[in-house]
Amino acid sequence: MSARPSGVKSEQQGPWYGNSVVVLLLLGCAVVASALAVVYAKYQSRTLFVELQNLNKERDAMEVEWGQLQLEQSTWTAHNRIEGIARTRLGMLLPEPDQIVVVRP
């Protein structure tokens, strides 16, 4: 082993040694930034998925309510119900055949 003065660069450290350290540091920063971006994207994906599931549940509940409302509407507009109300509340009856008058223009 030969003694080398402390200010002299070794043969392994060429003029590119300083640049390679900078490149390695930049690559390390890029890897960390990429990892953080992946974590953020995964977090956003999970958040949006939870929101989608909640919206699907809300849609399903609204579809059930819509079906119930349609059933209720068909019940309220049923002909026999309307005829029953006309007979009981308004005292209306179906006319006899001899009471029907056809008016021609």
Confidence (pTM): 0.53
Of residues 3 and 58, more confidently modeled? 58
Three-class SS state of 91: coil
Residue 9 clears pLDDT 80, i.e. is over it:
no
Distances in Å between the Cα of 2 and the Cα atoms of 6, 10, 13, 35, 53 are 12, 12, 17, 45, 72
The rounded Cα 57 to chain-centroid distance in angstroms is: 10
What is residue 43's DSSP assignment?
H
What is residue 8's DSSP assignment?
S
pLDDT (tens digit per residue) in 65-105: 999 999 999 888 888 888 888 999 999 988 899 999 999 98
pLDDT (tens digit per residue) in 27-54: 999 999 999 999 999 999 999 999 999 9
